[in-house]
A and B are shown apart, each in its own frame.
Chain A
Amino acid sequence: MDSERGLLVRLHIDPQLLSGALILCGLGLVVLYSAADQSIDVVMRQSIRMSIGIVTMLLVAQISPARLARWAPIIYLVGIGLLLAVYMFGTGRGAQRWLHLGVVQFQPSEIMKIAVPVTVAWFLFDKVLPPNLRTTIVALLLVLVPGFLIIEQPDLGTALLVMAAGLFALFFAGISWRWILSAAACGLLAAPLAWFLLHDYQRQRILTLFDPQQDPLGTGYHIIQATIAVGSGGISGKGWLNGTQSHLEFLPERATDFIFAVYCEEFGFIGVIVMLAAYALVLARGLSIAMSAQDSFGRLLAASLTMTLFIYIFVNMGMVTGQLPVVGVPLPLVSYGGTSLVTILAGLGILMSIQTHRRFIVDT
């Protein structure tokens, strides 16, 4: 048993994270089969993406935190460069998020979901913590510059998530509660102002949250139908492949952003608890890795990556259950689609790396 554990450590694999990820991916494929109208094709495509993601995770786990810290500023600057490129040459009039690289379309904001927390952690780890005012301001700039570029695309949802990842690193570095609370207060006061800066469609989405009937062809319809799907699932659900909301096509985006609604409808409250338990397994492991990390780089990075993952889960579930505006955040590891899947698994790979590259392993 002991030697087996040693082997996993040498391979830089963390069994708890790996099994949590596999359980969630598996759940994802099961729901996807139902949500995609029993299309084996779609399930196969997603399985391939998942395999790519898992391999990515295992490869990222081989990179030691020290090396990651060295690469951090480079990845960050490249990411900023790509965002500027999107800003100038991106495609799409409504929202410029994609960059064409020959055949591949590519969303640089996705890189920043990892690059921002890594860079902030790298910046903070040799500073005196809790950070003084100057350190805090520089760290904030590291967060706000990519945030601003992504807002300009415009992709408010991703921008907020990228910025949250960086701000969490600051939070865990011990920035004083007084600053946090005053910033929160300023935020609340500025909220009415922000309303005027929002795009029409963003305002519409927030308004729709309060009165879904207003927009029956757009997001309001999503919310109404998703709520019905979730509620009609009941305690034990309607059973796999039996969700009427999904199969009678009432539920839009049912394989991607709204897959949680399909899950709730077919597996009920009990199923939800099972899924939350699987997420809890991953999140708890992430935090315990953060607690036992040996330097502040590993600590800050592990903690902020874990918190970011939590935020994705919370935002998606809040959106599907009609508590948060529809912002287009997929459910980590479960939603259909490749980009965010690979990013999330790469994040888990970093967690594994932090855990398995410790110099003295004192396991309890």
Chain B
Amino acid sequence: MQKLPTLKDPNRELRIFQARIWAAIAMMVVLICTVIGRLAYLQIIEHRHFTTLSQDNRLKVLPIPPTRGLIYSRDGQILAENRPSFSLEMVPERVKDVPSALGEVANLLQLEDDETQRIIKAWERARGFDPVVVKTGLDERQVALFSVNRHRFPGFNIAARLARYYPKEAEMAHVIGYVGRINENEQRDLDATAYRGSTHIGKVGVEKAREGVLHGTVGYQQVEVNAQGRVLRIVTRVPPVPGHDIYLTLDAELQQIADQALADNNGAIVAIDPATGEILAFVSKPSFDPNLFVNGISTERYSELRESSDRPLFNRALQAQYPPGSTVKPMVALAGLEHSIRHSDDETWCPGWFSLEGDDHRYRDWLKRGHGQVDLTRSIAESCDVYYYALARDLGIARIHSMLSKFGLGRPTGIDLPGETGGLLPSAEWKRRARSLPWYPGETLITGIGQGFMLTSPLQLADATATLANRGARFAPHVVGQIEDPMAQLASEIGIHERPTLELAKASNWDAVIQGMVDVVHGASGTARRSGAGASFQFAGKTGTAQLFGIAQDETIDNDETLKHLRDHALFIAFAPVDNPEIAVAVVVENGGSGSRTAAPIARSILDYYLTGAVIAEGDSG
């Protein structure tokens, strides 16, 4: 075998290199000849053919945007539709001096300054022949005004297109969301071909979550134009395929009842059908009018919405984090039964306060004089805090965490709406990790009554209530019920998604807890007995109060005297009918004071309407 050379041999290297250069030159010549050959073929041999084509090339391809799918409620009311709207468009390359023409148009139509800024930005981005939207949603006066002055503005046109309209305005805004103009970031991420001709895209809510279904498929038409580019006739037309229609699981009537029941309070209501996970009502207050966003909201109105201390754009039902308060007591009680720490007839003495051994801190009961001897059912019905302090101490935080976690508290439910938040279900491990602090026994006690670190969203509370109603069966909450293809008249149901059932060692444990919840509203000493009175069906509930501020041991605060924004949040969870639950509901009234007084009557009016069709007159509960 020949030995390989180990030293550099400059002459050999140069020889090889030169040979390679010649090889490269040969390759270049061959490739460039194919290009020249192709050009000669196109420009010389087929020249006549292409000249004809170019002379006949009066065919232009124009995109036709699809019609966006409609959104209905489960009872068939329209929630999002498309209405004709007039907009002023500009074809930049037909306008001699864009900025000055824009200035004049802005003057004529009284556009705001930041709007002209936006148009100029859009113009810089657009290709010369793509129309730029100058102003959408022109009213009749503006259309007339422009038409009269049209000769002054070559390159400007009025186009009629469909604009999204939300007839329910603020009532459904937090579920449906809204569409808005495609912005620069979205533009970059879009499939440019699919969105040619489309100006709007879903920004929030169902409009965003189901953008792919609602948008539809772009169509196009080949049109014949004359040498100046004016359209003479349409040659072929491939129609766009409209987006699919969506039927929500929400009941528009129930939504309205819930919306009215919450009146002027800030807060949230979520109602679920426990048997399917279908969301029946989803209210977050205050809300906003989504129609403002469709045609571009003015900076002024937007900052007004953004900066309002009531935060109307914030989706409380989905994203707010409230301490669940006493609404967790049925679930903590269940943990006690499940781990045989308590039997349902075990009694705890409640003097009105509780202390840990070796610690003189008094954990107070909401009832200062105490509840006396309390068993499990009464502990729920009267919401005895001392019972749960003791139970929490005996259970320990790990077992409380484990049971509440099985109800889904403290983490996203996976609902088909964008932007859901998790919340917080504390554990010793969490505290070590997040705060680098050890877990203190006192924190276990207040976790037992739903205070302390624990945070849940109204949606999670409603979901947990549905689990209680179902005695463990858990269905994923969802707002989209059915998607319908209007062309094929084909409807596809969104399947019910069953999550792992919460299995108890003894199924009868559910009975004791649910009996306690029934006594909350129907029992003689139930905290919400006033809201249970006169009901034509049996229901179960639990009041809750989320403390905003720690109150010192010996201090009392009368809620009526507290400034409204310092008052506690009022909570109430309920389901009905008890034997065969059709609806589970969670109500949070911010600064509502006590759950029994504010939140429970709201829940009752929702149950009444849903189960009997009765509407309670407003102001009943005083």
Contact = CB atoms under 8 A, between A and B. Distances in A.
A321 B38 contact: yes
A174 B193 contact: no
A227 B24 CA distance: 29
Contact of B50 (A174, A231, A291): A231
Nearest to A265: B54
Interface stretch (A76-84, A87-95, A109-117): A87-95
B53 interface: yes
A91 B185 CA distance: 9
B47 A235 contact: yes
B39 A250 contact: no
Interface stretch (B26-34, B150-158, B334-342): B26-34
Interface in B123-160: 127-129
Contacts of A37: 93, 128
B61 A217 contact: yes
Given A245-B54, A249-B229, A321-B38, A129 B189 contact: no
Given A128-B8, A231-B49, A232-B54, A174 B17 contact: yes
B471 interface: no
Given A128-B7, A228-B57, A276 B36 contact: yes
Contact of A296 (B13, B38, B49, B222): B13
Contact of A276 (B32, B50, B93, B220): B32
A172 B31 contact: no
Contact of B25 (A94, A230, A273, A287): A287
B16 A174 contact: yes
A269 to B, nearest CB: 4
Contacts of A235: 43-44, 47
A296 B16 CA distance: 11
Interface in B108-129: 127-129
Interface string A87-131: 000011110000000000000000000000000000000101110
B225 interface: yes
A236 to B, nearest CB: 10
Contacts of A249: 60, 93, 128-129, 229
A231 B47 contact: yes
Contacts of B8: 126, 128-129
A231 B32 CA distance: 18
A317 B35 contact: yes
A132 B5 CA distance: 10
Nearest to A215: B193
B6 interface: yes
Nearest to A204: B193
B18 A291 contact: yes
A272 interface: yes
B506 interface: no
Contact of A174 (B13, B42, B46): B13
B196 A217 contact: yes
A227 B189 contact: no
A94 B49 contact: no
Contacts of B229: 248-249
B57 A234 contact: no
B562 interface: no
B488 interface: no
B325 interface: no
B188 interface: yes
A171 B28 contact: no
Contact of A248 (B32, B57, B191, B193): B57
B593 interface: no
Contacts of B42: 227, 230-231, 321
B21 A229 contact: no
A130 to B, nearest CB: 6
A349 interface: no
Nearest to A93: B189
Nearest to A268: B43
B35 A221 contact: no
Main secondary structure of the interface of A (DSSP, over half): helix
A328 to B, nearest CB: 13
A114 B8 CA distance: 26
A314 B32 contact: yes
A299 B17 contact: yes
Nearest to B194: A217
Contacts of A227: 42, 50
B4 interface: yes
A296 B17 contact: yes
Contacts of B546: none
A60 to B, nearest CB: 23
Given A227-B50, A296-B13, A92 B44 contact: no
A283 interface: yes
Given A232-B51, A269-B44, A174 B20 contact: yes
A245 B129 CA distance: 14
Nearest to A176: B16
A227 B46 CA distance: 11
B434 interface: no
A167 interface: no
A287 B220 contact: no
Given A174-B13, A287-B21, A291-B21, A233 B227 contact: no
A310 interface: yes
A239 interface: no
Nearest to B52: A232
Contacts of B225: 248
A258 B57 CA distance: 18
B16 A228 contact: no
B366 to A, nearest CB: 51
A248 B32 CA distance: 30
Contact of A264 (B16, B24, B39, B51): B39
Given A91-B188, A172-B20, A272-B39, A231 B193 contact: no
A244 B227 CA distance: 8
B464 interface: no
A231 B51 CA distance: 7
A6 interface: no
B35 A318 contact: yes
A15 interface: no
| Ranked 10 nearest A-B pairs via Cβ | A231-B50, A232-B54, A174-B16, A231-B42, A93-B189, A232-B50, A269-B43, A234-B47, A249-B129, A129-B13
Interface of B: 4-9, 13, 16-18, 20-21, 24-25, 28, 31-32, 34-36, 38-40, 42-44, 46-47, 49-51, 53-55, 57, 60-61, 63, 93, 127-129, 188-191, 193, 196, 218, 220, 222, 225, 227, 229
22 contacts: A37-B128, A94-B191, A126-B8, A172-B21, A216-B61, A218-B193, A230-B42, A231-B43, A231-B47, A232-B54, A244-B57, A249-B93, A249-B129, A250-B60, A252-B127, A273-B36, A290-B21, A291-B18, A291-B21, A303-B17, A310-B28, A321-B38
Given A229-B54, A322-B38, 16 more contacts: A37-B128, A128-B5, A129-B8, A174-B17, A217-B218, A228-B50, A232-B53, A248-B229, A249-B128, A250-B57, A269-B39, A287-B21, A299-B17, A303-B24, A321-B42, A323-B35
